[in-house]
Amino acid sequence: MMFKNQVVIITGGCSGIGRAAAFRFAQEGAKLFIADLSEKAGDVLMEELEKVGAEAAFARIDVTDAEDVERMITDCIQRFGGIHVLVNSAGILGPRARTERYPVEDFKNVMEINVFGLFNCMQAVLPHFLAKKSGNIVNLASVAGLGGFAGHVGYSASKHAVVGMTRTAALEYAKHGIRINAVCPSFTMTPMLENAMTNDDTNYLDALQNAIPMKRFGKPEEIADAIIYAASSAASFMTGHTLVMDGGLLIA
């Protein structure tokens, strides 16, 4: 078990990639602190993790609230005695619209959650990691943070920011035994994408899938495996890296 007795915080841990990562870390022996806005989903996840023998706790946390995030760090340390890994998975897609029609308030909201929320979490955990001279952060970015994403200027801008923050923080803390990496998925079969399938035209989703050389969407479990790798000792000489999981999209 790669993470036996290690403590892992996962934000946005009740759905999609964050949820898949929770079960993968549990399989590897980690103690889990799950943060999410949905208490109902948190209760369900705790029951499911208990069934597989995982030691886990849940807290309703708004990552855009710095005080909430500080409480998350404090509560996790009090509950489990420390933190080894932080996975920043909380995020939203925002609406689809061309840039000249993109609603300003939606742009601000995407940036608030995807950028400032992630910043709050990194800033809150880093003093703890510095004190023990070790720690690991895995940020969920996107291939939209490495290129363009037509119709999603807010999301693309936010994920470019995540990549930039990851690389900058990795430079700042490498000498302190702290590794910080980003995982960059392309279109993955999560509730975010499923909602698009319900509310959007199917031609658009078909176009997204056909743009991927593998001709399919990613699975949350596949992205979770990349998170596990980035956080594990197998990647001990890797920091500031953007680990692309895109079915070949960027080389198409």
Which residues have a catalytic role annotated?
Answer: 155
The residue assigned the tokens 């420390």 is: 82
Query: H helices of 81-201, where?
Result: 104-111, 118-132, 153-173, 191-199
**CA–CA separation, 71 vs 89, rounded Å?**
18
> From CA 16, how far away is CA 190, in angstroms rounded?
5
What is the biggest distance separating any 2 CA atoms in the chain, rounded to whole angstroms? 52
Alpha-carbon span 137 to 28, nearest angstrom: 17
Angle, helix 191-199 to helix 202-211, in steps of 10 degrees: 140
Question: Would you say 211 and 252 are in contact if contact means Cβ atoms under 8 Å apart?
Answer: yes
Among 228, 3, 9, 237, smallest CA distance to 118 is for 9
